[in-house]
Amino acid sequence: MYDNSGEPARSPHGKLKKILIFLSAMVMIYLYVFVYSPASCSSVKKKIEKTVDEKKPDHIKSTLKGEKLPEVNKSSISLNIPENITPIDEDEMDERHFLAARTVQGTVKKREKFTDSLIRNGVSIGESRRIIATFESRNVFNFNRAQPGHIFKVRMNDDGSRVYFFEYHYGSRTRYVATRHKKSFKVRKVVNIPSTVPYIIGFRLRTTLADALKASNESTRLELKIRALLRDEITKEMFSPGDQFIVIVEKKMLKKKFLGYGELLALYASTKTRGNYKVFSFKSRGYFTYEGISFFRTYLERPLAGNVPPEKDTEGIGVIFPAKGAIPVWSLGMGKVKSISWQGPLGRRVDIEHPDGVMSSYYHLSRIRPSIKTGVNVERGQNIGHTGYSGITPDKNGVGFRASKEGRNLSIHALRSVRAAGIKGHELTEFQTWREVLNDLISKNIRSKGNFSIQLAWGAEGILKPSEDVKKEKKDAKLKKKRKLRRSKNRR
């Protein structure tokens, strides 16, 4: 075929054929460069994996195959790590923080903003504003209506940066209450004020703590309080059948209806694995041993879950806690984030300064939580990041840890023994008097074999006694008054 100019006409099939040839050539070049060439990415990757596999120590190879670990040099980290590491019970930790917190009672002064009233009583500026904003944003109460002389109660940590419970008394019949719920507050107006009735409850374990409480017709909410109080000394996995518990606790009642548990006043635990414990509350300042020593430890035993012991970090400055995968890393104690940085061989690192001058450092983290920033306050057991491979890590991932004070390294085992402040001075005498009242109630019921629940009441001398005994005392007191009146009449 020829076109009008006399030249042969070009077929459209010729163009398509050229495009196909070009595309196939490009595909062949791509496959050669990126797949089949000795210098291709996949070939290089295979060579690296082969080299790494050949260079692996024997103890790593045997562990990956599921074989039992032979003895290894102390400088290398053991890979015998549990597949499943039990995570921290957040509800139990929150309850523990609540029990360890202190309660402050204050009053509103004339010409004083309510925010200033809270700050004056030790609540931080940020937390004060957060409480008031929560009430006002949900149209529960406007604190511009707060009156001079009105009472409020706050339960908070030592530096006031975290409030767990807030109660404002608006008159004699109305309360405005805020309770901490995760990161925010749950606020409500309370018109019917519940009464608090103390009880002494005793039981023995047959299977679990929860089953023992059900058998005693008690709510399992009491289990959380018991576990949280004992968690620094004994975990629920250590409880065994035959263990005995005696608890003195307040119950919140509204017209004979049970609403929940109030303050845990005292606890006696006799365990087969860890021995006996006696714990007493005092002035809502926490819990103390019989001698007045704080029952709560300042620092956690380890910065992550599990029971794998730490090993010396030959490449770093402290010890390594091995881990399986990326698991949460916790702050050992309450403090303020001093710095967050990339420390070369140590990878991602977080430094936390604690109130007693101790500096704890966590490194080799795979990631750091977005909320953890320089200057932020953190709680004991708060998640600050996750274990990982950042920096130069020996053999296996985990978290590096170092503790120091005034430039001197501290052992993590030494931190374990640090406790919160105990009771001293004139308060010790008050505590001993209060302790003996609770201890007498416990001692009278230690030999009891079955489960029991006895209602208590405040006697004439301000001493807790079984309510039946108090009723009898009141009857006897009335009879004495009547006898005195009769005698006086007869004399006249």
Residues 317 and 370 in one domain: yes
Which residues, 6+ apart, have CB-to-CB distance to 291 below 8 Å?
none
Cα–Cα distance, 179 to 187 (Å, whole number): 7
Q: Summarize pLDDT for 69-128 with one digit per residue, the tens.
A: 334 333 333 444 544 455 567 788 888 889 989 999 999 999 899 999 999 999 999 999
Structure tokens at 48: 């690296």
Within 13 A of 76's CA, how many CA atoms are on the CB side?
14
Cα–Cα distance, 182 to 225 (Å, whole number): 17
Cα–Cα distance, 402 to 77 (Å, whole number): 17
**For the ranges 83-87, 100-104, 218-222, 486-490, which has the lowest average pLDDT?**
83-87
pLDDT of res. 90:
77
Give the range with max mean pLDDT: 4-8, 54-58, 311-315, 464-468. Answer: 464-468
| Residue 223, domain member (yes or no) | yes
Q: What range defines the domain where residue 435 resides?
A: 196-296+424-458
3-state secondary structure of 145: helix
Residues 250 and 315 in one domain: no
8 Å CB contact between 103 and 155:
yes
Residues 402 and 338 in one domain: yes
| Residue 18, domain member (yes or no) | yes
Cα–Cα distance, 330 to 452 (Å, whole number): 39
Q: Summarize pLDDT for 382-434 with one digit per residue, the tens.
A: 999 998 878 775 555 788 899 999 888 888 888 888 888 889 888 899 999 99
| Residue 472, domain member (yes or no) | no
Distance of CA 351 to the CA centre of its chain: 19
8 Å CB contact between 156 and 164:
yes
3-state secondary structure of 420: coil
Residue 160 sits in a domain whose CATH number is 3.10.450.350
pLDDT at 66 over 80: no
pLDDT band of 65, cuts 50, 70, 90:
very low
Domain count, the chain: 4
Residue 385 vs residue 36, higher pLDDT: 385
Mean pLDDT, the chain, rounded, equals 83
Residue 79 vs residue 336, higher pLDDT: 336
| Residue 471, domain member (yes or no) | no
Angle at 263 (CA atoms; ends 260, 269), nearest 5 degrees? 100
